[in-house]
Structure 1
Amino acid sequence: MTATTTPAKAVPPADGLPPAGRGGGVRAYLRYVAGRLAGAAVSLLAVLVTGFFLFRIVPGDPVRAMTHGRPTSAEQLAALRRQFGLDQPLWQQFADYCGKALTGDLGMSYQFHAPVGELIVQKLPATLLLTGTAVVVYSALGLWLGTRSAWRHGSPGDRLTTGVALTLWSVPSFWLGLLLIITFAVGAGPVPGMFPTGGMESGDATGLAYIADVAHHMVLPVLTLVAVGYAQTLLVMRSSLLDEMGGDYLTTARAKGLRDDAVRRRHAVPNALLPTVTMVFINLGHVAAGSILVETVFSWPGLGGLFYQALSVPDLPLVQGLFMVFAGAMILMNLLADLLYPLLDPRVGR
């Protein structure tokens, strides 16, 4: 009688996946990353091309706009066009533009007579301060209110919150900003003027007083951005969480004796975050762009106001450079969101 031996059981690895599975998962993720990087590169190329041709169909002659109100001969206008390269054929202007842009040279501003890159660097901190603060506030507010509205959907609080959000979302930001200026800066009826009408600082404060002065100037523009911006995050989070609330895993969690708050916090909300992550990263992409209308209404010295000034000429190198920065920030944030997806949901990218 031949003795039979029982084969020893293979000990599973610590992460529960076989080596081939782990290797295949890594390779799949790397392919996923490569595809997203290629897509981002194509998008940047499209932005480069669009940024050149888009602003050349804007009405207006940059040279005549810069010499407006001053007697200028035809010879002087021709000399300015030669100086700015506007007398060259369009294809040659495009080739020069692409060559400089790929090396990081965004050109020289027509109206400010300074490198576009330096102008953007000077104005960027003000925009990051204003819109960065607003994005953090309205993203957190939207996530919190969206979660509460979905968990208590159909209640009077849900209807009120959703109704207010939809109303504010439909309001033009510049119009709301003007209303806030009239009411809280100029003063209307019994409401006295409490905040500055525009600008970033009064110019006569230092130290902690300067920080308080800047914060005082930020109240109305941040309130405008938050009032208009939080609704989108709220509605996306609410819709995503409502889709998750019928899941069997939530019933199982309740059957195990977990409290309702724990079920929401530990199980429902993490699974509902994926669509909202996209929204949060898109909002972060808007930080670099700022809000052109809000910065213009409140005379905020950021990139949005700079873009408005450049577009009014039109200052072609400046609007092209700002367009590339705005679009590049959005592409980068979308790329980061895409790369984060597989970490939140392993099914993505497999």
Structure 2
Amino acid sequence: MTADSTPALVQNADADTDGRAPAGPSVARDARARNIKVYLQYVAAKIAGAVISLFAVLVTSFFLFRLIPSDPVKQMTGGRRVSAEQLQSLRHQFGLDQPLWKQFTSYVGDALTGDFGTSFQFHTPVIDKITEALPATLLLTGTAYVLYTALGIWLGTRTAWRNGSRSDRFNTAFALTLYSVPSFWLGLLLIIVFSVGIGPIPGMFPTGGLESGGETGVAYILDVAHHLVLPVITLVAVGYAQTLLVMRSSLLDEMGSDYLTTARAKGLRDDVVRRKHAVPNAMLPTFTLMFVNLGHVVAGQILVETVFSWPGLGGLFYQALSVPDLPLVQGLFFVFATAVILANTLADVLYPLLDPRVGR
């Protein structure tokens, strides 16, 4: 071996298998910087899309509810005989006598500053009514969200891993049935069976509301928990079914992958293969669903809250729509849509961190 051949041998030993020299630290830094730049551009595009969507919702919320064939002023008079002068005075008070374009520009300008106007029927600022009802909605839908997400992921994983077994067939059929049932119908059924009582089953739970009243301290907490049981069960029954079906489908797609076969060939236990290899990859579609449902935590469940007379945003929206209380309906609609848009945007921003193929 000559002295001249030594550098060539060393270079060949350090080279990549395709004959190229390995990337140095500067190349790696450039690659990381490039990836960060691409990711930031991706995030900026998603945020810009969210802003455009929010403005579209703001515009839609104004015109959509003015298509309702109802006169808010006449509805608020409760059918009482009112003179034309009084009706005109009320329309002037609420700004309904102004041209539509002027109402629209005033609404958009005020909404951009967080002012959604004054409720027709409650005579208080819309934002105050929303703030007042929001905790009740978060308590109900937030509790249900945590329960049905955990239950759906756990059962979806176990049923898919035992694909074709008796428990898999039962859980899948039961989930499909619950997913097909309207939530308000299920709520009414639970009220009939467990609140009113039927046959040997006595009425054990309140028919609706957040509290009985007059309780304080621990007794108040227990009273609220007692009122929570049936509406939470209603939301969990429908929500867990959807999560289970998505998780099961995702995991079934992963079960035939080569990397799972390799993991088993290395001698890993079956539960380790499931927990550390299959489930993390199968979680990606479920992760998206979790953020979509997270937006609905704020948006509430209008039908369920109405059935159980729950004093949250959903029940408030139903009350406002029956008038229609235009400022309150518009404000609630914008809050609901904003929550969903922000949750989806957050999912889009975080998704590339779990799957680097997204956004590239």
Task: Calculate the TM-score normalised by the size of structure 2.
Answer: 0.94
Q: Name the residue aligned to 1:345.
A: 355
Task: Map 1:142-291 to 2 at 5 A.
Answer: 142-291=152-301
How far is the alpha carbon of 1:78 from its aligned partner?
0.5
Equivalent residue letter for 2:314: G
Q: Name the residue aligned to 2:86.
A: 76
Q: Name the residue aligned to 1:123.
A: 133
Pairing partner for 2:115 from 102, 105, 109: 105
Q: Name the residue aligned to 2:61.
A: 51
Q: Distance in 1 between matches of 2:49 and 2:264?
A: 43
Equivalent residue letter for 2:67: I
**CA distances 1:89-130 after superposition (whole Å, capped 9, x unpaired):** 111111111111111111100000000000000000000000
**Structure 1 residue ranges without an equivalent (≥5):** none
Q: Count matched residues.
A: 348
Q: Distance in 2 between matches of 1:147 and 1:125?
A: 33
Equivalent residue letter for 1:325: V
Q: Distance in 2 between matches of 1:247 and 1:134?
A: 34
How far is the alpha carbon of 1:88 from its aligned partner?
1.1
Q: Name the residue aligned to 1:61.
A: 71
- Tell which deviates more after alignment, 283-292 or 4-13: 4-13
Q: Distance in 2 between matches of 1:39 and 1:144?
A: 34
Equivalent residue letter for 1:208: V
Equivalent residue letter for 2:128: E
Equivalent residue letter for 1:177: G
Q: Distance in 2 between matches of 1:107 and 1:344?
A: 42
**Structure 2 residue ranges without an equivalent (≥5):** 15-21
Q: Distance in 2 between matches of 1:128 and 1:5?
A: 71
How far is the alpha carbon of 1:11 from its aligned partner?
8.1
How far is the alpha carbon of 1:59 from its aligned partner?
2.0
How far is the alpha carbon of 1:12 from its aligned partner?
5.3
Q: 1:96 to 1:248 in 2, by over 3 A?
A: same
1:96 lines up with 2:106 in the alignment? yes
Q: Name the residue aligned to 1:86.
A: 96
Q: Distance in 1 between matches of 2:228 and 2:57?
A: 32
**CA distances 1:113-159 after superposition (whole Å, capped 9, x unpaired):** 00000000000000000000001101111111111111111111111
How far is the alpha carbon of 1:318 from its aligned partner?
0.2
Q: Distance in 2 between matches of 1:335 and 1:283?
A: 13
Q: Distance in 1 between matches of 2:129 and 2:78?
A: 23
Q: What is the DSSP-based 3-state SS (H/G/I as helix, E as strand, rest coil) of the residue aligned with 2:67?
A: coil
Q: What is the DSSP-based 3-state SS (H/G/I as helix, E as strand, rest coil) of the residue aligned with 2:116?
A: coil
Q: Distance in 2 between matches of 1:321 and 1:221?
A: 25
How far is the alpha carbon of 1:4 from its aligned partner?
7.1
**CA distances 1:26-47 after superposition (whole Å, capped 9, x unpaired):** 0110110011011101111110
Q: Distance in 2 between matches of 1:17 and 1:88?
A: 64
Q: What is the DSSP-based 3-state SS (H/G/I as helix, E as strand, rest coil) of the residue aligned with 2:327?
A: helix
Identity of aligned residues (%): 72
- RMSD of equivalent CA atoms: 1.7
